Amino acid sequence: MLSTVLTRAALPLLAAGLLLGGCAKPSAPSPAAGPVPPAPDAAAPHAGPPAGSNAVPHGGPPAADRANPAGLPGLGPRTGELVPAGTGQALLVRGRSADSSESTATLYERDAEQRWRAVAGPWPAHNALKGWTDEHWAGDHRTPIGVFGLTDAGGRLPDPGTRLPYHQSEEFVAVGTGFRGESLRGSFDHVVAINYNRESGLTPLDERRPMGWDRGGGVWIHVDHDGPTQGCVSLGLDRMAELLRRLDPGKRPVVVMGDGESLAR
């Protein structure tokens, strides 16, 4: 989220929008299916989606379809009940502290006995400049705490072999510098959309924001630029490619993310 998605026509307007927006601050024309204004990154309350969301809590199924994922380390009952019973993959992103921009990411899968097993990681990761939040608002420089679906991917570079729908486009452009003066170039070479305040099944560049623009949007997992993000989670380029190859829509993948103390609740 330390970056902004821009069409080539909008590139000259990049700098101010970058810091005001989220990981993806689209400025392309709205999709034909419905007009939508531009928006930044966002997050939802830890215990469920904000009023007006058309999604179930954090992209999961109804409460009756949830199970206690006892094998995911460090999760407390409140977070655990948000993990869908039917999911077979979970990317666990654990922040160093509530106000830290540094975290680790580990991919887990359920085995034949329904126990969670680490299959990749832990990988170093970044989150937002000011850490984490249970109630994210556009421009607050915090990453949402919660459990969200992972259904759509894309990037400037070709598909590295993912089974998720992948939208390759030159509109995945990150320009300018980050909070530490680092270049943002290449940050959107590969991205996975986090299903907060967006409609699943659409390109990450889609501009629909079901909960409204003040709650942000464009929360992604994207390529790390060696610094904090606006609200996204970032991984090294090779790790992003590996994650994309491993994610399987048949396993209903989710991301479980937050600082360690919040996840333990």
DSSP string, 39-88: -------TTSPPTT--SSGGG---GGGB---TTSTT--HHHHTTSBTT--
Which pLDDT belongs to residue 259?
Answer: 98
* Confidence (pTM): 0.79
Please list the ranges in the chain whose pLDDT falls under 50: 1-21, 26-69
* Residue 219 within any structural domain of the chain: yes
Total domain count for the chain? 1
- Of 11, 56, 28, the C-alpha closest to 146 is 56
List beta partners, residue 132.
Answer: 143
Task: Give the per-residue pLDDT at 167.
Answer: 98
Q: Is residue 65 part of a domain?
A: yes
Within-domain flag for 3: no
Containing domain of residue 171, as a range? 8-263
Q: How far is it, in rounded angstroms, from Cα 154 to Cα 67?
A: 30
- What pLDDT score does 71 carry? 73
Distance CA 203, CA 144 (A): 21
Q: What is the pLDDT of residue 24?
A: 65
Domain assignment present for 15: yes
Q: How many CB atoms lie within 10 A of CB 115?
A: 13
Residues 6+ apart with CB under 8 A from 201: 151, 152, 165
The Cα–Cα gap between 175 and 184 comes to: 5
Identify the pLDDT of residue 110: 95
